[in-house]
C-alpha cells in the first residue's frame, strides 16, 4: 500500500480493502443531512457532494451522483450487482443501482459510511 494512504483500522480494512459491508443503519453518515463533501477514507479523494445525498431508507448513505471521475463501476464478484470503488485508490465504496425511481437521476450509489469521511462546508 502507498505511503500516501491513510492508516485504516481493522473494520475499515475489512470494508475498503476486502470488499466487506457494514451493517445497515449503523453507519455514521446514513442520516447525515449537513452540507459538505464526502471523501474517500483511504486516500481523501472527493467522492460525493451533500447536494447529491438523499434518504432512501436502505440503511446506508445514498447518493444519486458522484463527483466527476471520482467513482469507477465494476461487475461485483456475485455477477449480479455493480460495485463502486474510488477511482483514485480503488477502495471499495459499495454498489450502484439504477431504475429504482428515488430521484430524477434514477440512480442510487449505496455507500458504506466507513468508506468515507465527511468534511462539513465552512
CATH code at position 63: 2.170.150.20
Taking the C-alpha atoms of residue 95 and residue 16, their distance in angstroms, rounded to an integer, is 13
> In whole angstroms, what is the distance from residue 79 CA to residue 99 CA?
18
Query: Tens of pLDDT along the chain (122 residues)?
Result: 445 899 999 999 999 999 999 999 999 999 999 999 999 999 999 999 999 999 999 999 999 999 999 999 999 888 999 999 999 999 999 999 999 999 999 999 999 999 999 999 98
For residue 53, tell me if it sits in a domain.
yes
Would residue 57 count as lying in a domain?
yes
95 forms beta bridges with: 83, 110
Of 40, 43, 86, 110, the active-site residue reads 110
Per the structure, the count of domains in the chain is 1
> How far is Cα 46 from Cα 65, in angstroms, rounded to an integer?
12
Tell me the C-alpha distance between 39 and 47, whole Å: 5
Is 1 a member of any domain?
no
Per the annotation, the verdict on 110 as an active-site residue is yes
Structural domain contains residue 70: yes
- pTM value? 0.94
Q: What is the pLDDT of residue 4?
A: 84
Amino acid at each position: 500500500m502507498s505511503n500516501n494512504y491513510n492508516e485504516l483500522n481493522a473494520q475499515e480494512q475489512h470494508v475498503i480493502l476486502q470488499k466487506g459491508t457494514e451493517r445497515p443503519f449503523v453507519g455514521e453518515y446514513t442520516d447525515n443531512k449537513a452540507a459538505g463533501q464526502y471523501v474517500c477514507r483511504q486516500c481523501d479523494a472527493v467522492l460525493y457532494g451533500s447536494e447529491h445525498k438523499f434518504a432512501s431508507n436502505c440503511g446506508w448513505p445514498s447518493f444519486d451522483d458522484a463527483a466527476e471521475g471520482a467513482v469507477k463501476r465494476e461487475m461485483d464478484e456475485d455477477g449480479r450487482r455493480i460495485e463502486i470503488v474510488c477511482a483514485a485508490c480503488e477502495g471499495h465504496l459499495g454498489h450502484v443501482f439504477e431504475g429504482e425511481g428515488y430521484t430524477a437521476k434514477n440512480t442510487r450509489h449505496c455507500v458504506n459510511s466507513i468508506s468515507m469521511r465527511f468534511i462539513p462546508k465552512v
